[in-house]
Structure 1
Amino acid sequence: MRSGRLPFGPAATLAVLSSGAGVFTILQSILSPALPVIQAELGTTQLHVTWVVTAYLLSASICTPVLGRLGDTFGKKRVLVIAMSTLAFGVLVSGLSTSIGMMICGRVIQGVGGAIFPLSFGILRDQLEGRSLHRSVGVLGSVAAGGVAIGSLLSGLIVDTLGFRWLFWFPLIVLLISLLFMRVLSDSPVHPSPVSVAPILSFATWLTGLLLLTTNAQVWGIASPITIGVAVISVLAFIGWILAERYSRGALIDLKLMKSNIMWTTSVLSAVIGIPLFSLQTFVPQYLQAPRATGYGFDMTVLQSVLVMLPLSVALFAMGFVSHHLIAKYGFRKALVGSVAVVLLGCALLVTPVVEIWQVSVASLLAGVGMGAVLTIMPVLVVTGVSADQTGVAGGINANVRAVGGAIGTAVIAAIINAFEGPTPRAQDYQYGFTVFIFALLLALIACLLIRASGESR
């Protein structure tokens, strides 16, 4: 049984949820191309301006599962309104910033919006069922998948025509309109349970340490005292978190939940698919923009490289509208195996020497089709594979591990590409880096094959 009918119909509900979720996703990527402009406008250094992205990632990674858990406990709609309001305030702070510190502070606040996706998925699970649920979650998943690519696409256009502050004003306008229409959502059921502070603090500590090591270890030095110190603190915090989860009355994440087949397989899949999702949009444009004198680059402008990769953005977004058909025809496991195989094929085209631009576009299209399908099928599997009172935290975990996997994968590939001591990377350095995709996606295939979805035979 569902908690109640949608007062304005599923279409209105999906539109409101998608608008808020879309803004958060776009904010993940829209600032990266504009970092040099922000650095110049705010008079800061390259090291400091990178924290505009890092602070957002850290905050979102912590807040997503925490607020997902609170949504399960106190009501998903209530917590969603808080998350969207906080995101709007953070966007306002960054838009008005006059210093890099104020900008970073705004980005930390915006990280609270990371809970929008798991809460939205949970609301749909509470109100819909069957193919209607699959279709709605798929569309919302397409917003998650396509938003990252769309953000990068819009960034240059907005900065060149209106200035970098409009990277915040447009999202703020959409958020405020979405908040005005939140009344179309039904109240979510409440599942009262205690929430302890110790698991939240220990979780935040070890995850922050892990992400800091991922993003800063090369800058600090692998064997430097600060790297070793952060690593030790992270390990101790992780041990403390496991103990707190096991013995506290109000666990943040039910460890039994993580042992379930659906959760651990989709967590592996989500972490791995995050690697090509974020890395392709980081390193392929660099490859295309490299001077022809390097022997491999195409000397493209930022806009030209974005257009070459446009098939990736279109496919990521479009697959959400057909993924429910794949589920209905093939089931979760076969649909996910086939989707990962398509991503693998696309990435394999990048491991071979790229001599023609069409190779990049075809690879982008295949990767976009496959990743778009995975990122819209997987949320359906998660929200239907756990109990209704755990959809918020389950969705939060799934989104969280994707962001962490993407961050770690991007750092590893960057280290491989830049390992050669020369003025610019060589063509083979990119090929070595892209080989990471192959090994990661093979792991994803194994995880998909081990999925045991309800009602599906082995």
Structure 2
Amino acid sequence: MTHTTTDQPDRKAGGAVVPVLAFAGIVVAVMQTLLVPVIKDLPQLLDTAPSNATWVLTSTLLSGAVATPIMGRLGDLYGKRRMLILSLAVMVVGALVSALTSQLLTMIVGRTLQGFAMGAIPLGIGLMRDMLPREKLGSAMALMSSSIGVGGGLALPAAALVAQHTNWHALFYGAAGLGVLSIVLTLLVVPESPMRAEGSFDLLGAIGLSTGLVLLLLPITKGSDWGWSSGTTLGMFAASLVVLVLWGLYELRVQAPLVDLRTTARREVLLTNLASIMVGVSFYVVSLVLPQLLQLPKATGYGLGQSMVVAGLCVAPLGLTMMFTAPVYARLSARYGPKTTLIIGMLIIAIGYGGGLGLMDAAWQTIVTSVVLGAGIGLAYSSLPALIVGAVPASETGAANGLNTLMRSIGTSVSSAVIGMVLANTANNVGGVEIPTMHGFHVSFLIATGAVAVGLLLAIFLPKAGRPAQHTQLRVSSEEDAVLERAEELLRGFRGRVLDAGGTPVARAKVTLIDHRGRQAGAAVSDEDGSYAVAVPAQGAYVLAAKASGHGPLASSATHSGEERAVELDLSLPGETVSA
């Protein structure tokens, strides 16, 4: 079945696409923080040990980490909109499974299925990149990237309200409803991207990544129960290392890898991805610690004795502040660049956690901590896609952003596992119930502060983004434009204009770069003035294929020497095609 209406998405559709895709990102975030309001009660609700109960959260984050590259690759092959809907559908099934059980293993299965929705983030960014005009892409990507924090913060008071006044299983019915709503909106508003990658799906790579991450996170959560020096714990860590190394070697050899690890060879990409892990760690710590501190009874001597709903409302500013930092990010980034914005975000996060160590004595103090952390995390999250897009050729932005989202997911997964382990091991047993201690909360904040310090160091060593800008002769109106110009025009490749038979520029024409093996090596959509730019991965012979609604297709042979320059090549489309 062909989607004739998707080759030329109009501007009205483009304008509606952004909020719908951002809503899908918010729904994803809800899955991650859905059970945070009841986390202290999970061992009793599921009749299991605290270290086992943490897997109800960790399993969602882990499957999200694995689903990110899987759904991204499937989206490139079979359609991003189609895979976005599939991700949300799997999430709805998982929510219904969890809604109908109180058994630990069945609950973990349901939560694992819910984690597959994480693929919506890179799929949404990919759809935006394929359809939106360049001047809107930077801010749209920042909004999509920040939606996970926005949704996470807003979900806390809503989930707390539901859990406090109804059976906690109602949380999952609500999540399923949000998933269905997101599917309906996507079907109604979001057109399918016409762009497709060549190749096949890397099943062995998906299995290898899943196995390696499980072998890494399982001993982190169970190490204290098994013994950190036990054969089981050390054996799993060793097995994880072996599996991930073998997986990496395999991914470098396979023609169509699940994760294009070669993109990490660039210093900019490597440092940005390592910083992303640290941002992921810092984001989840506050979501795990503050709700528990707020809900603990005052009789403990340090608990703040607040209801589930009040606790959710105190942490909600985390997400709200992230939402309001999106326009602030756009202005800061336009003036100083995404590297500086990331450093500022990291500094604010460090201040939030450092100050938070001494602000645990009243509910209003947790609100202050939430606001500061939300501002920092919002700036940091918004900077990451711009840094990635600016560091790689246009033909690699999909794979690079997918890998970046994977790094953030690994950060949140490790954070969930480590902080869950810390709180479980420092808890006091009171009447058979494990009560988290202030010592555990302090250690958790110190871990987050350490992660941010490492992330800040990595961000400082990022190369200056403005280095290639002197080569451009094109006017750029903002930093987001500059980043995209670099990725698409300043690196080696082809550029020019798409024209009709009479020499008039053709806007929104799809230009596809095909290598000598017949595989897609890059793609672009022409601007209002007909201009296009597409980067080449290496020197050699290529075919530039162009098509647009109302015009015949064109295939033009071209050769690139591999030099760091753009080859000028105008593409003239034949006259109108015969309409059906």
- Going from structure 1 to structure 2, the CA distance change for 1:125 and 1:455 (only over 3 Å counts) comes to farther
Matched, 1:205 2:211: yes
3-state DSSP of counterpart to 2:197: coil
CA contact (8 A) 1:30 1:167 kept: yes
- Going from structure 1 to structure 2, the CA distance change for 1:230 and 1:427 (only over 3 Å counts) comes to closer
Q: CA deviation at 1:192?
A: 0.6
CA contact (8 A) 1:159 1:166 kept: yes
Q: CA deviation at 1:51?
A: 3.4
Q: CA deviation at 1:124?
A: 0.7
Counterpart in 2 of 1:380? 386
3-state DSSP of counterpart to 2:337: helix
3-state DSSP of counterpart to 1:322: helix
- Going from structure 1 to structure 2, the CA distance change for 1:384 and 1:128 (only over 3 Å counts) comes to farther
TM-score w.r.t. length of structure 2: 0.71
CA contact (8 A) 1:191 1:389 kept: no
* Higher Cα radius of gyration: 2
Partner AA of 1:185 in structure 2: V
Counterpart in 1 of 2:498? none
User: Where in structure 2 are there 5+ consecutive unaligned residues?
Assistant: 1-5, 430-434, 470-580
Which of 154, 175, 192 is 1:187 aligned to?
A: 192
- Going from structure 1 to structure 2, the CA distance change for 1:426 and 1:205 (only over 3 Å counts) comes to closer
Output the CA distance in 1 between the equivalents of 2:144 and 2:219.
Answer: 32
Whichever structure has more helix as a proportion of its residues is 1
Counterpart in 1 of 2:125? 121
User: Where in structure 1 are there 5+ consecutive unaligned residues?
Assistant: none
Partner AA of 2:37 in structure 1: P
CA contact (8 A) 1:320 1:373 kept: yes
Residues matched between the structures, number:
457
Which of 427, 433, 440 is 2:451 aligned to?
A: 440
Matched, 1:394 2:400: yes
Equivalence map 1:153-168=2 (5 Å): 153-168=157-172
Which of 249, 256, 260 is 1:250 aligned to?
A: 256
- Going from structure 1 to structure 2, the CA distance change for 1:355 and 1:104 (only over 3 Å counts) comes to closer
Partner AA of 1:62 in structure 2: V
Identity %: 26
Output the CA distance in 2 between the equivalents of 1:108 and 1:315.
Answer: 29
Counterpart in 2 of 1:431? 442
Partner AA of 2:168 in structure 1: F
Q: CA deviation at 1:13?
A: 0.8
Counterpart in 2 of 1:80? 84
Counterpart in 1 of 2:73? 69
* Range 420-429 or range 77-86, more displaced: 420-429
* Range 406-415 or range 436-445, more displaced: 406-415
Q: CA deviation at 1:294?
A: 4.9
Partner AA of 1:435 in structure 2: L
Matched, 1:284 2:295: no
Output the CA distance in 2 between the equivalents of 1:107 and 1:275.
Answer: 20
- Going from structure 1 to structure 2, the CA distance change for 1:426 and 1:401 (only over 3 Å counts) comes to same
Counterpart in 1 of 2:533? none
Output the CA distance in 1 between the equivalents of 2:409 and 2:205.
Answer: 20
CA contact (8 A) 1:270 1:401 kept: yes
Output the CA distance in 2 between the equivalents of 1:296 and 1:45.
Answer: 23
Partner AA of 2:190 in structure 1: L
* Range 46-55 or range 265-274, more displaced: 46-55
CA contact (8 A) 1:74 1:192 kept: no
Equivalence map 1:217-228=2 (5 Å): 217-228=223-234
Counterpart in 1 of 2:61? 57
Output the CA distance in 2 between the equivalents of 1:438 and 1:193.
Answer: 43
- Going from structure 1 to structure 2, the CA distance change for 1:373 and 1:233 (only over 3 Å counts) comes to same
Alignment RMSD, CA only? 3.0
Q: Which deviations, in whole Å up to 9, do the C-alpha atoms of 1:315-351 show, x marking residues without a partner? A: 1232234322222122111111112111111112123
* Range 350-359 or range 156-165, more displaced: 350-359
Output the CA distance in 1 between the equivalents of 2:440 and 2:388.
Answer: 37
Q: Which deviations, in whole Å up to 9, do the C-alpha atoms of 1:165-213 show, x marking residues without a partner? A: 3312223223223323425323320121244333222222111211212
Q: CA deviation at 1:456?
A: 5.3
Output the CA distance in 2 between the equivalents of 1:289 and 1:81.
Answer: 37
Output the CA distance in 2 between the equivalents of 1:427 and 1:164.
Answer: 26
Output the CA distance in 1 between the equivalents of 2:62 and 2:76.
Answer: 22
Q: Which deviations, in whole Å up to 9, do the C-alpha atoms of 1:49-96 show, x marking residues without a partner? A: 443323222222211112212222333223222222222222233334
Counterpart in 2 of 1:237? 243
- Going from structure 1 to structure 2, the CA distance change for 1:193 and 1:171 (only over 3 Å counts) comes to same
